[in-house]
Amino acid sequence: MEKTNPYDKFYPVSWDQLQRDCRALSWRLMERGPWKGIYAITRGGLVPAAIIARELDIRLIDTICITSYDWQSKGQTSTIKRPEGDGAGWLIVDDLVDTGSTARLVREMFPAAHFATVYAKPEGRPLVDTFVTEVSQDTWILFPWDSTPQFVPPIAKTRD
């Protein structure tokens, strides 16, 4: 039987945890700066970029607008908007590197930039320079902007 959903596990991230993880990422990035500014990858990188910009006292933020996938399907990546240049001195921020399709495209556009994500999965991890937490490839991260609090059965009960 073919598996239709590649995600066996869910990793819910609260607003508090995201704040702590972005602060931890900021500590790691502090020694690598100073930065000209941040390129936030929309949409997932917007909130982490705002937190990191605050922590590193960066006022210049621009966006890289790319479509790649949503919670139902992974598709072709396409660029909607991109800043000029090769990224020298810039920090690229995204919430997650998953399979690496978005990261590959961004790396091609900005080879001189420093690429940081809050979370990383094994397939995409080699494409980022700095991250905080690694999760398995078969885990779907539930970001606070994509979810709502609700009852979750104990793990042992979900294996039946």
Dump pLDDT digits (tens) for 52-67: 999 999 999 999 998 8
CATH number of the domain within which 106 lies: 3.40.50.2020
Residue 71 has pLDDT above 60, yes or no: no
The answer to the question of residue 154 being in a domain is: no
- DSSP 8-state secondary structure symbol assigned to residue 125: G
Q: Is 147 part of a structural domain of the chain? A: no
What local confidence, expressed as pLDDT, does residue 82 receive? 80
152 domain residue, yes or no? no
The answer to whether 113 and 100 are in contact (CB under 8 A) is no
On whether residue 3 sits in a domain, the answer given is no
Q: What percent of the chain has pLDDT over 90?
A: 71
**Residue 155 confidence (pLDDT):** 80
User: Could you read off the pLDDT of 99-144 as tens digits, one per residue?
Assistant: 999 999 999 999 999 999 999 999 999 999 999 999 999 999 999 9
pTM for the model stands at: 0.85
* Separation CA 18–CA 28 (nearest Å): 15
User: Which structural domain, as residue segments, surrounds residue 26?
Assistant: 20-140
Residue 76 resides in a domain = yes
**Measured between alpha carbons, how far is 39 from 91 in angstroms, rounded to an integer?**
6
Active site residues: 94-95, 98
